[in-house]
């Protein structure tokens, strides 16, 4: 019991640290793994790989490891390229732990509390940039970067919709008001301080999926009618929002007319070349760690132009997998996403949070390789692992007659 509690506490600490520090996440994760060892039920644990939700992330890691043998990248690069998939091995362990633990909600509350503190700090840093926790911080971004911060705030704002709806239905108006104020705080921060274009595009998708799954028809229609007015008000009131939206067309124009290395221009260049790389080795890809070498060979012109950019990440999860492991990797990736979506097809707060985590990762991965990025990858692993284990809890207790 002591070791189980300790393991739960260290997962909570991972959730608390994630918005602030990569080093602390790695340290707490290592200690968590050590505290799990005395709690393992070997018979039950060995059954986990038989579950698709567990075996698919393991298989994706295994493919990355095996893919080193047909890559022509230096061995140091090949081994380094395996590291983004290692975190996927944590998923079965989290399923195992929180299928037996009653403390899954602690993890979600810890992450929400940590992001709420980060939001407050964001407003403070926007007023006085000297209070940022890193040198050269962007406007309103006290730690890390605005992309990570936007992902956290977008997830928290949308995940709060379910408890707000639940408390409103049960007429617990004080809690409804508090959580609604917190959700609005996240959204207002993104509108007036800083927001990534990825979050700006994917957050409406997350809200739409939540509404389709959890709102009655008339409430869904009301929401659809209200959203344009809210969006219009935000557009008029927020110069930051208008500038972010305007940057889409401006980036595209500069790329097309001058071949400038704008954010959108580089992505289009990366995607075009990635499709060519995929066509050259469509079945098993070019091997683990091969991406940067392929872009080096395909670069044309000076590096200040979009066509001359060299990168090891094509800023699209599917293409990142396709280049290295071909159709085999794509099938594993989408099968894993599909299995995890099906895991959260039920009702309730845990299912809602798990569904939003998977949906966010899928759609943001259209513009980034977020499953392989440290921060967003850990958001996925932690959210799906804890929510998935909690969702599976009932079947575990039924099997063991608890």
Does 94 share its domain with 117? no
- In this structure, the number of other CB atoms found within 10 A of the CB of residue 335 comes to 15
pLDDT of residue 76: 92
Does 153 share its domain with 202? yes
pLDDT of residue 157: 93
pLDDT of residue 392: 87
CB 384 within 8 A of CB 96: no
Number of domains, the chain: 3
Residue 37 has pLDDT above 80, yes or no: yes
Does 135 share its domain with 235? yes
Question: Is residue 62 domain-resident?
Answer: yes
Q: Which of 214, 241, 258 is the last residue of a domain?
A: 258
135-145: average pLDDT: 82
Residue 17 has pLDDT above 50, yes or no: yes
pLDDT of residue 304: 58
Does 25 share its domain with 156? no
Question: Is residue 95 domain-resident?
Answer: yes
Question: Is residue 276 domain-resident?
Answer: yes
Q: Which of 229, 258, 287 is the last residue of a domain?
A: 258
Q: pTM of the prediction?
A: 0.89
Lowest mean pLDDT among 158-162, 269-273, 343-347: 269-273
Does 252 share its domain with 266? no
Share of the chain above pLDDT 70, in %: 81
CA distances from 296 to 129, 133, 165, 245, 256 (A): 38, 35, 51, 32, 22
Residue 402 has pLDDT above 50, yes or no: no
User: For 85-125, how does the pLDDT look when each residue is reduced to its tens digit (9 = 90+)?
Assistant: 999 999 999 999 998 888 999 999 999 999 999 999 999 99
pLDDT of residue 88: 95
Q: Which of 258, 279, 303 is the last residue of a domain?
A: 258
DSSP letter at 195 equals -
31/260: higher pLDDT: 31
User: For 318-363, how does the pLDDT look when each residue is reduced to its tens digit (9 = 90+)?
Assistant: 999 999 999 999 999 999 999 999 999 888 899 999 999 999 999 9
Does 136 share its domain with 221? yes
Domain coverage including residue 7 = 1-39
Helix (H), strand (E) at residue 8: helix 2-17
Does 297 share its domain with 362? yes
Does 235 share its domain with 197? yes
- What string of DSSP letters covers 23-82? HHHHHHHHHHHHHHGGG--HHHHTTGGGSHHHHHHHHHHHHHHHGGGG--S-HHHHHHHH
Angle (CA) 299 301 302, round 5°: 100
Question: Is residue 215 domain-resident?
Answer: yes
């Amino acid at each position: 019991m002591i070791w189980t509690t300790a393991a739960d506490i260290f997962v909570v600490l991972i959730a608390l640290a994630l918005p602030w520090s990569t080093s602390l996440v790695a340290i707490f994760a290592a200690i968590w793994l050590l505290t799990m060892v005395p709690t393992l039920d070997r018979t039950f644990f060995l059954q986990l790989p038989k579950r698709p939700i567990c075996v698919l992330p393991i298989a994706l890691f295994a493919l990355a490891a095996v893919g080193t043998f047909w890559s022509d990248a230096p061995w140091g690069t090949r081994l380094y390229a395996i590291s983004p998939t290692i975190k996927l091995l944590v998923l079965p362990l989290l399923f195992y732990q929180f299928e037996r633990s009653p403390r899954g909600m602690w993890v979600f509350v810890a992450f929400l509390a940590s992001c709420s503190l980060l939001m407050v700090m964001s407003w403070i840093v926007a007023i006085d940039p000297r209070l940022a926790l890193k040198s050269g911080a962007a406007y309103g971004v006290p730690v890390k970067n605005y992309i990570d911060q936007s992902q956290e705030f977008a997830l928290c704002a949308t995940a709060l919709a379910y408890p707000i709806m639940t408390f409103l239905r049960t007429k617990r108006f004080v809690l409804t008001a508090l959580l609604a104020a917190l959700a609005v705080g996240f959204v207002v921060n993104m509108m007036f301080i800083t927001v990534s274009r990825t979050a700006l595009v994917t957050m409406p998708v997350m809200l739409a999926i939540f509404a389709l799954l959890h709102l009655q028809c008339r409430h869904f229609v009301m929401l659809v009618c209200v959203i344009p007015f809210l969006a219009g008000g935000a557009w008029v009131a927020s110069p930051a929002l208008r500038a972010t939206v305007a940057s889409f067309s401006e980036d595209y124009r500069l790329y097309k007319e001058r071949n400038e290395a704008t954010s959108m221009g580089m992505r289009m260049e990366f995607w075009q070349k990635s499709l060519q790389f995929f066509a050259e080795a469509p079945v098993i890809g070019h091997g683990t760690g091969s991406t940067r070498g392929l872009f080096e060979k395909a670069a044309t012109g000076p590096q200040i132009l979009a066509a001359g950019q060299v990168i090891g990440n094509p800023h699209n999860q599917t293409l990142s997998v396709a280049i290295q492991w071909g159709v085999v990797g794509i099938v594993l990736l989408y099968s894993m996403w599909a299995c995890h979506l099906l895991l959260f097809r039920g009702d309730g707060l845990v299912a809602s949070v798990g569904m939003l985590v998977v949906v966010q990762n899928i759609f943001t991965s259209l513009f980034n390789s977020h499953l392989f990025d440290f921060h967003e990858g850990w958001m996925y692993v932690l959210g799906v692992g804890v929510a998935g284990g909690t969702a599976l809890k009932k079947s575990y207790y039924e099997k063991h007659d608890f």
